[in-house]
Amino acid sequence: MNHMLTDTAHLYWNAEWQKADGTSPWAMPEPWAIDHVSTLPPGSHILDLGAGIGRHALAFAADGHHVTALDASEAATAAVAAAAFTKGLTIDTVQAPMTDLPFETASFDHVLAWNVVYHGDESVVRRTLAEIARVLRPGGTFMATMLSARRLPVEQAKARGREISRNTWVFEGEGDKVHPHYFCTGTDLLSLLWGFEVFTLFDRPHVKPGSWHWHLLAERLT
């Protein structure tokens, strides 16, 4: 597998996932992700890309879908497997980088990538989006979040940062921003989505003020 040099944030998150439990904010699924999957036919094949401790994968499996939870972190896939066993759910867990998805072409009806694709430089983002397009069936849906360029001044106010390549920044201090992160405008993002028809695209903060993310729902073109 081709582990790209800037795709390293999972090293930070591996330690975080070892500490996370059911009280973690990362254990709560996002309503938009759940609402969309509720519109899919029963038994749809879903890839939760960057699954973390399984907040979405577990909910999708409980709703009767065939779910694969992929993460580059060993601790994440172990947590998903343990939670699925406890809840009596069947989830395929795969530890692999997002840039080289170990699945056949057109394997999935839906791919969710919540807070994951932007962990790397533009080459990582492009490779990951190309892989998502490859594993989605024509007409399949793709939901994701991406870091907004509107977020960049917020990070710059908190810590010293430097742009290591186009739109890609690292910041000094604690947290995962010491690893490369890609910040984009809406125009940037649309230019990267080759092979997709975009249905929904909006920019809003997550839980914390200033935590701007693009929210995307698209369909794989035939």
Q: Express each pLDDT in 69-115 by its tens digit.
A: 999 999 999 999 999 999 999 999 999 999 999 999 999 999 999 99
Taking the alpha carbons at both ends of the chain, their separation in whole angstroms is 27
Q: How far is CA 178 from the centre of its chain?
A: 18
pLDDT confidence tier of residue 4, bands split at 50, 70 and 90: low
What pTM was computed for the model?
A: 0.95
Contact 110, 40 (CB under 8 A): yes
Instruction: Give the CATH number of domain 10-220.
Output: 3.40.50.150
The sign of the CA dihedral 54, 61, 222, 145 is negative
Output the pLDDT for position 14.
87
Contact 146, 117 (CB under 8 A): yes
State pLDDT tens for residues 61-79.
999 999 999 999 999 999 9
SS3 196: strand
Output the pLDDT for position 175.
87
SS3 127: helix
Average pLDDT over residues 49-64: 97
